[in-house]
Amino acid sequence: MKISAFHLMPHRDLPDNFEEEYHSVWVDPPFWDLATPEQVSKYYNWTLDELVHAAKSGFDGICVNEHHQNAYGFMPGPNVMGGALALATRGLDVACVQMGATLPTTNPPIRIAEEYAMLDCISEGRLVAGMPLGTAMDANMAYGITPIEQRERYYEAHDLILKAWESREPFAFNGKYTQLPMVNVWPRPIQNPRPPIWVPGMGSLSTWEFAANNNHCYCFLSYFGHAQGKAVMDSYWQFLEEKEIEQNPYRVGFLQLVAVSETDEQAEKDYAEHVKYFYNKGLHIAPEFTPPGHQDYRSLENNLRRQLKGQANAREGIKNWSYKDYVDKQFVISGGPSSVVEQLENLIDSLHVGNLMVLMQIGSMPHELTMKNIDLFTNDVLPHIQDRWSDKYENNWWPERLRTKQPSSELTAVGGAE
């Protein structure tokens, strides 16, 4: 099992009436109404401190991602964060999981080949190269990419980046979206021929095919928890089985919100308001900011049929959910350590997942509470789940020099964890 701490770098102090007064958390929230640069400076530094603390406390990896014009997460330059994190975690056996720089919006895309190679060099071979397609809000709205071209741009950029890393000789690249007379990237990644590649997805068949055909790790980044995510993950495993691809759990990743406290009761006291903030304010996204064409024709038809059956939007009706609803439905795994361990074991078995990303800082969660969550998770939860799968499967989707890391359960076996 490889377990990484994921961070969105959200605005932690949106007004109580945010979802009533403002149109959307993404694309058009007015910055000067809602934030100050000084406040944001504090958030960035908290975010970096929290991820570094997670790394030092025993997580296998730390994750950042890319969003634009978004109050629930605004790291427009994930590699800026990655550079700081790679340096701050020097000497630790911790992967820098960039989930990552968005391919269709980076022009020319060899910028990503260059920056990821830099990060791999600075981190001394600890990079996981996330390759996101990008959301409609980021790619179409904030960065102006033509919706119907976004996926094709993604495939082309992916091919260019891999060729740029792997080619021994300079080459000319004659793409539809990128033409370059002489590609000769400096530097090259330490990992040879390239870092492991993770492809974040939301369950579309096109992305499954892409990840499987290229032998990349497919990561289902859902905010709706493993119970909701199971249908998608089951279908993906079935899809791989039909293609006769090995059912290695490290072939997939999953994102889960996790909140640990001393007891189940204390967890509710600590985290209830932050969980509600996350779903009610953080995911207050205007649907019209996903313009026609962002979904390909097949996915569009699937979605229209799912809407008809009333199973379109997992968020429908959650406005009035209580903390208990979120936990019961496993949108959030929360509670005292033993309860969280049990829930995570269920998740791991149920999804057959080897690369788990956990969101430790949720919505408005303040810095001190986030540090507490990280401490309790790494002390009392992580050791119980970290060595799952490791005796049976090889994680080919992890930086090679970190694959043999000792599970912390062995390190802390004497005296126990609880």
**What is the C-alpha to C-alpha distance for residues 314 and 223, in angstroms, rounded to an integer?**
10
Residues 394-413 that bind other proteins (CB under 8 A): none
Phi, psi of 414, deg, nearest 5: -75, 125
The answer to whether 73 and 9 have CB atoms below 8 angstroms apart is yes
By the rule CB under 8 A, 342 interacts with other proteins: no
By the rule CB under 8 A, 312 interacts with other proteins: no
Alpha helices in 105-149 (DSSP H): 110-122, 136
In the complex, least distance from residue 135 CB atom to other proteins, rounded to whole angstroms: 14
Joined together, the tokens standing for residue 392 give 């049976």
One of 144, 181, 317, 416 touching other proteins (CB under 8 A): 144
CB nearer to other proteins: give 167 or 302.
302
Of 35-43, 195-203, 235-243, 284-292, which part binds other proteins (CB under 8 A)? 284-292
By the rule CB under 8 A, 139 interacts with other proteins: no
Number of residues that bind other proteins (CB under 8 A): 21
Residues 174-193 that bind other proteins (CB under 8 A): 176
Our CA dihedral for 73, 126, 156, 202, rounded to 10 degrees, sits at -40
In the complex, least distance from residue 145 CB atom to other proteins, rounded to whole angstroms: 8
One of 243, 269, 305, 324 touching other proteins (CB under 8 A): 305
Phi, psi of 40, deg, nearest 5: -65, -35
SS3 content of the chain, % helix, strand, coil (to 5): 45, 15, 40
CB nearer to other proteins: give 148 or 417.
148
By the rule CB under 8 A, 292 interacts with other proteins: yes
Residue 359: which of 285, 281, 284, 279 has the closest Cα? 279
By the rule CB under 8 A, 414 interacts with other proteins: no
By the rule CB under 8 A, 57 interacts with other proteins: no
The answer to whether 87 and 100 have CB atoms below 8 angstroms apart is no
**Residue 288: Cβ-neighbour burial (10 angstroms; 0-12, 13-18, 19+):** exposed
**What is the C-alpha to C-alpha distance for residues 96 and 395, in angstroms, rounded to an integer?**
16
By the rule CB under 8 A, 146 interacts with other proteins: yes
Residue 289: which of 67, 77, 110 has the closest Cα? 67
Joined together, the tokens standing for residue 260 give 């640990």
By the rule CB under 8 A, 289 interacts with other proteins: yes
Query: DSSP strand E in 152-202: where?
Result: 171-174, 179-183, 197-201
One of 241, 301, 345, 418 touching other proteins (CB under 8 A): 301
Of 108-116, 199-207, 298-306, 368-376, which part binds other proteins (CB under 8 A)? 298-306
The answer to whether 46 and 367 have CB atoms below 8 angstroms apart is yes
By the rule CB under 8 A, 35 interacts with other proteins: no
By the rule CB under 8 A, 341 interacts with other proteins: no
By the rule CB under 8 A, 149 interacts with other proteins: yes
CB nearer to other proteins: give 74 or 289.
289
By the rule CB under 8 A, 306 interacts with other proteins: no
Of 137-145, 322-330, 342-350, 389-397, which part binds other proteins (CB under 8 A)? 137-145
Provide the binding-site residues for other proteins, judged by CB under 8 A. 140-141, 144, 146-149, 176, 286-289, 291-293, 297, 300-301, 304-305, 308
